[in-house]
Amino acid sequence: MCLAVPVLLKQKRDDSGTIDLGGVEREVSLLLTPEAQEGDYVIVHAGFAISVLDREEAEATLSLFRELADSQGQ
Amino acid sequence: MLRSLPAEGSGVSERIRLAHGSGGELSRRLVHEVFLRYLLDPELARLEDSAVLSADGLDGACGALAFTTDSYVVSPLEFPGGDIGKLAVCGTVNDLAAAGARPLWMAAGWILEEGLPLDTLERLVRSMAEWSAAAGIRVVTGDTKVVPQGLADGAYVNTSGVGWVPQGRCLGRQRVRSGDRVLVSGCLGDHGVAVMLARQGISMSAHLVSDVAPLHGLVQSLFDAEVDVRWLRDATRGGLGSVLCELAQGANYGIEVEEQSLPVRAEVSGAAELLGLDPLFIANEGKMVVVVPPEDAAAALGAWNSHPLGRDAAVVGRVTEKHPGRVVSLTPYGTSRIVHLPAGELLPRIC
Amino acid sequence: MRYLSDFRDAAACAALAERIRRLAHGAGEMQFMEFCGGHTHAIARHGLRSLLPENVRLVSGPGCPVCVSSQGDVDRAVALAGRDGVTVVTFGDMMQVPGSEGSLQEARALGADVRVVYSPADALRLAVDCPGRQVVFLGVGFETTAPAVAATVLQAQRQGITNYSVLSLHKLTPPAMRAVLDAGEVRLDGVIGPGHVSTVIGAGAWRFLPEEHGLGCAVAGFEPADLLLAVAELVRMVVEGRPEVANCYRRSVSDGGNSRALAVMEQAFQVVDADWRGLGVVPASGLHFRPELADLDAGARLALPKLESREPAGCRCGEVLRGVLEPSQCPLFGSACTPESPVGPCMVSTEGACSAHYLLREAG
């Protein structure tokens, strides 16, 4: 039971915030991720942010994919 | 106290559930196992959007009448982009248009719940008047009934519609051939998501409006472009996926859908990600699906793209000799999966 | 949609599939378990099995919380829905799960007040809006969901909301993974670790797999490239003979997890033995409210008896959940048991192995 997606945290108010995914907005609880800041991507599950997406790690994984794809292409 | 629920084996599963009305496999079974079991008319058994009744020879007429009926239940009664009055007109017009007919006349039966504010009803009826005028269909007969509070969700509307099919125009699944192309007239799921977001319990918002619109002009644009239209269908509840599954069911051909070619708005995509839904099965109220021969695909796409209601139209699939009776989705990863009629209601899931 | 579509890149997937083929070439048969039902769904949805070489097989595990809820627990939920003055609120996933006396959907058809929400926070709001009704949220889910439910319960207590309670059927995943391995019925060469559970409990929670069972574990995200990367890592571990925990979902998962979420969970719940469909009673694998929150426990507040229920005759969901049986090997699969009239829960949930196999069969 793990459907959760990365969404943009547009606004933060105390322990809640407004998220945006493709223009869909919803109020989510930030109780479990008090460190989340506006402009962060948070992983939201059932209306609760359960983590703040680590952009450096995301980019590192993506560049690993790109390297793999490039090396296959050669 | 526990309300008495039937004991095991007493036929709990044999009651009507909401899922029977969702356009999926249970709806299909209901139609086949209850209605078509007793109502045997061959025209009814075609299960197209409208019955097409030949008028040839009747007092010298040439052509056919298209005749359709539909019922509208939507909560809330007024939603972003429309209301039940507009919905009833557009649904009727689109069912007629899907038979290749020019919409002419319609009937509207309103079932009102005790307590419905009169000004709400006035807005709904005014909307029906405006949209029927815009679509060129006359509301020529009607009926009202009032039921006690709690027995209806504000208001329900039942309509019948009659249209004229010009002589020689012949559409139907029997004309579909392997190699034909499948087009959809625009983005998928706008109505279903707009209405779902307007309901309580989800608490999401988006600048998204229902696509509810009369599509007779869009259909006419195909005939004007001299496209050989094999088969048309208004893709409402159950979405594009259900329409294609019904087309393929029992046929000696299959249908392949290119997942990447499906037009979907960012908002619908976003809601689908959050709620675990597949846009292929989300309801539309202003999307036509057409099957045309491969050599006419470009003309059909051109005709739709230059129409205001078809700007996002796309070729989404093809009819194939492979896997007869089935709809298969081709993923961007070179893999494929069988598309099934959804089992029941489309419910937000968190799994 | 940033950080979503990037991980669905077809070229990356093709490259990863090629990497898996190269790594596995010449190696023996290997079988990995995707523990999480969300992974089962994604693998089927994107047809990823057909990208793997013949000697690399994936088998589904007990990671679908709807599927592993015992028949008795489903029956208790349905019984609650049948009470006057009670509104049962649930995630959509639970609606169609058949209990011995029907599903929640069928209870609703008979007049019960059952609502579907996206978030437990919506259920709490409903309680505030309907002060005359007892609003019961069905707390189904693993470590991903339990903190969210715990947070609403603590909020209800703080705000003195007296008509909100939760039927906690929450379960913990590592004990279930241990139970599957201890049963010794299925031969595994590695485990795809659940991505969002691990977001909460940390990738480190799976270290017992290499240390005690000699099995590699790759914690994975839910996009096709994420899953293929995890499989590639598992194949590499098998070939190199060096099982470890690889975190392939670093953008969301840390080694220690989300300490705040764990603390909230700890504040509301205590660990108890729990009854899993297919696994039976697994020690220290369930979450019940702490005694000081007993009033928010729907079972206690509404004096709900514990129901002993038998699982449906002929249903082999239990074996499917343990990875012993392929869904298609169950005699009911696709005939007596279909998504429209499911016999067991694995055919209901979109992340149940049977449903995923039935609905998302790869076209030949």
Question: What's the confidence (pLDDT) of residue C306?
Answer: 78
pLDDT interval class at B167 (50, 70, 90): confident
Q: How far is CA C67 from CA B14, C105, C141, C347, in A?
A: 23, 16, 10, 9
CB contact under 8 A, A2 and C36: yes
- Residues in chain B with CB shorter than 8 Å from the CB of A1 are 350-351
> Is the peptide bond between B76 and the residue preceding it cis, with omega within 30 degrees of 0?
yes
Once rounded to an integer, what is the mean pLDDT over residues C185-203? 97
* C304 and chain A in contact, CB less than 8 A: no
pLDDT per position as a tens digit, A37-66: 999 999 999 999 999 999 999 999 999 999
Indicate the pairing of strand B51-54 with strand B64-72: antiparallel
Residues B255, B244: contact at Cβ < 8 Å?
A: yes
Size of interface A-C (CB pairs under 8 A): 137
Judged against a pLDDT cut of 80, whether residue C269 lies above it is answered with: yes
Total number of residues shown for chain B: 351
DSSP C15: H
Task: Identify which has the larger pLDDT, C1 or C233.
Answer: C233
pLDDT per position as a tens digit, B288-339: 999 999 999 999 999 999 999 999 999 999 999 999 999 999 999 999 999 9
Once rounded to an integer, what is the mean pLDDT over residues C194-200? 97
Rounded to whole angstroms, the Cα distance separating B314 from B263 reads: 7
Please tell me which residue of chain C has the smallest CA distance to A41. C3
Describe the strand order of the beta sheet including C30-36 as a list of residue ranges: C56-63, C30-36, C190-193, C216-219, C245-247
First to last CA, chain B: 32
Rounded to whole angstroms, the Cα distance separating B46 from B51 reads: 8
The mean pLDDT value of chain C amounts to 93
> Among B15, B343, B350, whose Cβ lies nearest the Cβ of C339?
B343
First to last CA, chain A: 40
Task: Identify which has the larger pLDDT, B299 or B63.
Answer: B299
In this prediction the pTM is 0.91
Rounded to whole angstroms, the Cα distance separating C37 from C194 reads: 9
Rounded to whole angstroms, the Cα distance separating A49 from C364 reads: 40
Residues C63, C240: contact at Cβ < 8 Å?
A: no
DSSP A11-44: EEETTEEEEEETTEEEEEE-TT-TT--TT-EEEE
pLDDT per position as a tens digit, B103-130: 999 999 999 999 999 999 999 999 999 9
- Look at residues B207, B177, B175, B182 and name the one whose alpha carbon lies nearest to residue B304: B182
CB contact under 8 A, B206 and A3: no
Best probe of the C interface among A2, A19, A25, by most C CBs < 10 A, is A2
Once rounded to an integer, what is the mean pLDDT over residues C229-244? 98
Once rounded to an integer, what is the mean pLDDT over residues B222-241? 96
